[in-house]
């Protein structure tokens, strides 16, 4: 895993279900998956850090970790990564608009 994952104090951050201590393992699983397994792992990650379009304190470091994964992916996997990143951007814009950005 990269420093974008290992240098983050995940236990101090939160996602939709509480402390984000489980995010590094999930990011590792995402980075090692391809195809339908990647889709499944991305859905698990999405559920935690972008649940119902909400941005959590764990969301920005997840985006930093996903960017190099997206850059190194190909085909449908790249589409999946960029779709997730686009959702982060859309949700962040909405949070700013609504005055509830972290």
Tokens found for residue 93: 């814009």
pLDDT at site 102: 63
Sign of dihedral through CA atoms 63, 48, 26, 42?
negative
Parts of the chain with a pLDDT under 70: 1, 3-4, 101-102
Residue 75 CA, distance from chain mean position: 19
For the whole model, what pTM was predicted? 0.89
Within 13 Å and on the Cβ side, how many CA atoms surround 101? 13
CA atoms of 72 and 80, how far apart (whole Å): 12
pLDDT digit string, tens, across residues 11-25: 999 999 999 999 999
Predicted pLDDT of residue 1: 64
pLDDT at 6: 84
3 state SS of 30: helix
**What pLDDT was estimated at residue 101?**
64
Cβ(59)–Cβ(100) below 8 Å: no
Cα–Cα dist 49/62, whole Å: 8
């Amino acid at each position: 895993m990269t420093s974008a994952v290992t240098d983050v104090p995940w236990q101090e951050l939160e996602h939709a279900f509480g402390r984000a201590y489980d995010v590094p393992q999930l990011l590792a699983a995402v980075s090692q998956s391809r195809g339908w397994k990647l889709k499944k792992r991305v859905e698990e990650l999405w559920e935690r850090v972008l649940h119902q379009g909400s941005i959590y304190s764990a969301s920005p470091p997840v985006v930093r970790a996903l960017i190099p994964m997206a850059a190194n992916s190909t085909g449908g996997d790249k589409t999946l990564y960029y779709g997730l990143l686009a959702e982060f951007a859309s949700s962040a814009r909405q949070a700013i608009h609504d005055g509830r950005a972290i």
